[in-house]
Amino acid sequence: MPNEKLKIMVASTVYGFQDQIEQICGTLTGYGYEVWNSHIRTIPLNPGMSNPQNCLEAVRNCDVFFGIIRSRYGAVIEGDISITHQEIRSSIELRKPRWFIAHRDITVARQLLKQYMFDSNGNINSSFNYRSTNILDDIRVINLYNEAIMNNLPLADRVGHWVDEFYRIGDILRCLETQFSNVDRIQGIVNQMNQGYE
């Protein structure tokens, strides 16, 4: 359809960050996107599906994906990973046009803990144990970050693995302006990536 707005999904843990999510979604709406986010109640729902199923269906049907990796892991409803983790993993698997931003505490914790988390071959150290802290509530946020940067692949084979870093909401808003304010540019990326996968 001509002049149809690009559908951008904003994936983020919600609790404690509601005001930030509303500001992020409002900014993207102002740029001219149709914003999908569970907190602002704009995810198209199918009442015959579970909450995680509806969220993953939104990932499949959005044009663009923006994932925020926070130091709070989020709700685990089905399976062993959070809904946000499932959404981000799905956006990677589906090769969606995607952008990620991660809290600085995650990148710092990752550098400090990787000598304990992983063995010399880069595999998870089975004896590693982590207790929740006020800075990082769940070690799986580091696993999520590693998936976003495609840590399991050699550097030469990684595509779409850029993850910006933020500390304050202003950092996220600056990222939004840089990456998403030019909707025509994003439409061109969507078209190019869709043609590449046909």
Mean pLDDT of the chain: 90
Q: Tell me phi and psi for residue 42, to 5 degrees.
A: -120, 10
pLDDT tens-place string over residues 60-116: 999 999 999 999 988 887 678 999 999 999 999 999 999 999 999 999 999 998 888
Q: Tell me phi and psi for residue 77, to 5 degrees.
A: -110, -50
Extents of the domains making up the chain: 7-104+140-189
15-29, 119-133, 150-164: lowest mean pLDDT where? 119-133
Distance between CA atoms of residues 59 and 127, nearest Å: 35
Number of Cβ atoms within 10 Å of the Cβ of 12: 24
| H helix or E strand, kind and range, residue 43 | none
Sequence-distant (≥ 6) Cβ neighbours of residue 165 within 8 angstroms:
101, 102, 103, 104, 107, 171
The class that CATH gives domain 7-104+140-189 is alpha beta
Distance between CA atoms of residues 13 and 195, nearest Å: 32
